[in-house]
Amino acid sequence: MALIEQSTYRVGDHAAPDFLSHIQWSAQPDVTVFETGSLPIFALRHHRTLTNGMVEILADAPPAKDWDLLVVNRNGSGKFGMDFDGTHYERPLHRDLCCFLPAGADNRMLFGSDTGSFLLYLRPGVIGSLLESEGEGKGSEAFAPILGRQLPRVAHLMGLIESELRRPSLGSRLMVDGLLRAIAGLMATGDGEAEPTNRDRIYLSQPKLKRVIDFIEAHLQESIGLDDLAEAAGLSANHFLRVFKLATGETPYHFLRNRRLERARQLLADDSMPLAQLALECGFANQAHFTAAFSRELGISPGRYRRSVRA
C-alpha cells in the first residue's frame, strides 16, 4: 500500500485537502480532478486503476482533518467489498451503487481495477446544514453511513454535478448548490419523494423579488450561491427555489445565466475590454471557462461574436 502523490489531486495552483494524504492505494489511480472554486466540495472522477486484478484502498484520516465522502459507481463489474466499523460488507458491483462515508470513519475498500466512479468529498457538516437551514430539525445525524446501495436519484444528481463541473456554465455555483440540496433531501428520505407540506403556499412578493434581482445585478461578477439569493428574499433556500420560478417563470439558475449572458453581450459590444477581464466581470474564474460557456449558449465564440457586432 502506498500514499499517492499529492500532485495527482491538484488543479492548477490549488492545493489538495489534507485528508487526501491519509488515503493509501494499492496502485496508481487514473483520475480527473475538477476545479470547484468557492464550493465546499472536492470532486474527482476515478476512471480506473493502473493495475490488474483487485484494488485496495485504506482511508484513516484523523477526524479533525477528514471530509465526508459521497461516491457513485459509474462502470465496472464483479464484487465490491468494504471493511467499516469492524464489519466486512460485500455487494455486487452495479452502476449507480452509492456509498456515503462520514468524516472520521476509517474504512477499507476492495474492487476491480476497471471500476470507475465519481467521488464528491464535502466539508464535514455541509450536507446536514442544508437540511438544518430549511428548519427540518435534521443535522448530520440524519445521514447514517451508506455502505453500497443503489440510489438511482442520488446517482442521477451526482451525474449532473459531474457534468456541471466538467463544463461550467453561466450559473455554475447556483446549479451545484441546488443539486447538493436535492441530494441532501433524497438521502434524508432514503432516495424517496419528499412529502408535500403547506409551505408550498409561500409566495415571493414583488418587493422581495426586486431585492433578489437587484442583488443579482449588483453581484454578477461574483460567485452567487443559492443561500445568497434566498437570504436576499428572506426565505429558506428550498422555499425560494419553488417560489422564484412561480414568480418569474425561470429557475434561479436560468435567470442568472441569462443575466450573465446579457452582460457578456453588452461588454463584447464595447471593444475596449480584454476577454480575460471580461470573463471575470461575468463571474468566471478564467477566460477558457467563459469561452466554453458562451460558445455553448450562442453557438459562437466570444471573439467571433465581438467581430460580428463590430461589422
- Its sign, for the CA torsion 125, 57, 72, 254, is positive
Q: Which has more confidence, 164 or 202? A: 164
Return the pLDDT at 196. Answer: 41
Return the pLDDT at 134. Answer: 53
Return the pLDDT at 135. Answer: 53
Confidence of residue 204 (pLDDT cuts 50, 70, 90): confident
Q: Which has more confidence, 184 or 142? A: 184
Does residue 22 surpass a pLDDT of 80? yes
CATH of region 2-188, choose from 2.130.10.10, 3.40.50.2300, 2.60.120.10, 3.40.1080.10:
2.60.120.10
Whether 38 contacts 223, CB under 8 Å = yes
Whether 160 contacts 183, CB under 8 Å = no
3-state class (DSSP) for residue 145: coil
Range among 205-209, 213-217, 235-239, 249-253 with highest mean pLDDT value: 213-217
Confidence of residue 136 (pLDDT cuts 50, 70, 90): low
Please provide the average confidence, as pLDDT, over all residues in the chain.
86
Comparing 65-69, 109-113, 128-132, the range with the smallest average pLDDT is 128-132
Does residue 157 surpass a pLDDT of 90? yes
What percentage of the chain reaches a pLDDT higher than 90?
A: 49
* pLDDT tens-digit map of 287-310: 998 999 999 999 999 999 998 887
What is the enclosing helix (H) or strand (E) of 75? Answer: strand 68-75
CATH topology of domain 198-249: Arc Repressor Mutant, subunit A (1.10.10)
Return the pLDDT at 197. Answer: 43
SS3 per residue for the chain: CEECCHHHHCECCECCCHHHHHEEECCCEEEEECCCCCCCEEEEEEEEECCCCEEEEEECCCCCCCCEEEEEEEECCCEEEEEECCEEEEEECCCCEEEEECCCCCEEEEEECCCEEEEEEECCCHHHHHHHCCCCCCCHHHCCCEEEEECHHHHHHHHHHHHHHHCCCCCHHHHHHHHHHHHHHHHHCCCCCCCCCHHHHCCCCHHHHHHHHHHHHHCCCCCCCHHHHHHHHCCCHHHHHHHHHHHHCCCHHHHHHHHHHHHHHHHHHCCCCCHHHHHHHCCCCCHHHHHHHHHHHHCCCHHHHHHHHHC
Average pLDDT over residues 25-46: 92
CATH topology of domain 255-310: Arc Repressor Mutant, subunit A (1.10.10)
Q: Which has more confidence, 135 or 128? A: 128
In the chain, CATH 2.60.120.10 sits at: 2-188
Q: CA triplet 56, 106, 8: central angle to 5 degrees?
A: 55
* pLDDT tens-digit map of 223-244: 899 999 999 998 888 788 888 8
Instruction: Determine if the pTM surpasses 0.85.
Output: no
Average pLDDT over residues 4-14: 77
Comparing 11-25, 68-82, 88-102, 114-128, the range with the smallest average pLDDT is 11-25
In the chain, CATH 1.10.10.60 sits at: 255-310
